[in-house]
Amino acid sequence: MNKNKHEMGRGGHVRLYWDLLDSMAWRALSWVEQGLYIAMRRKLRQTNNGNIEATLATLKHAGITSPATLSKGLKSLQAVGLISKTRQGGIAYGSKVCSLYRFTDEQTFEHPKLGVKACKVTNDWQRFKTLAEARAAIKAAQSRPACAIDENAE
């Protein structure tokens, strides 16, 4: 058992910095989309950024129970630059693996077995200067088919 966990008795934490919480990208998200981000962030450890899965099975405990809600949330989070896809999964590409994501405010280490490449911090969410810009990006992402978003995410 981790010494800190034992001493504190509370386990880990999800750290959300004020610059992210005060950003136009964050403010443009719905409560459900913010909750999805936090549920995904809960999976982040020291070196697994880029290897974050977002499936119904793994997010059910966080209240994400609808495929439509999950799809909409992932599109929104990618549109505002909080997450980026590192591996395409699903039947469309002839595989039975899930898509993987990274948080743009954290460094990504290479995971060769998963096909995840190393990536520096990009903070893509900082590009929005107004709330209208961030909301427009979300609206545009919601109107595009999933495959178009996946191709533009990299």
Model pLDDT for residues 53-77, shown as the tens digit of each residue? 999 999 999 999 999 999 999 999 9
Q: Are 118 and 112 in contact (CB under 8 A)?
A: no
What are residue 39's phi and psi, to 5 degrees?
-65, -40
What would be the CATH architecture of the domain defined by 14-153?
Answer: Orthogonal Bundle (1.10)
User: Other C-beta atoms within 10 Å of 74: how many?
Assistant: 24
The tokens describing 85, both together, are 């896809």
pTM here is 0.85
Q: pLDDT value at position 114?
A: 87
Q: Compute φ and ψ for 86, nearest 5 degrees.
A: -105, -20
SS3 84: strand
Q: Which residues have CB under 8 Å from 38's CB, separation 6+? A: 14, 16, 62
Contact 61, 36 (CB under 8 A): no
Query: Quick one: pLDDT at residue 147?
Result: 57
What are the residue ranges spanned by the domains of the chain? 14-153
> Binning pLDDT at 50, 70 and 90, where does residue 151 land?
very low
In this prediction, residue 119 carries a pLDDT of 95
92-139 pLDDT tens trace:
656 688 999 999 999 999 999 888 999 999 999 999 999 999 999 999
3-state secondary structure of 150: helix
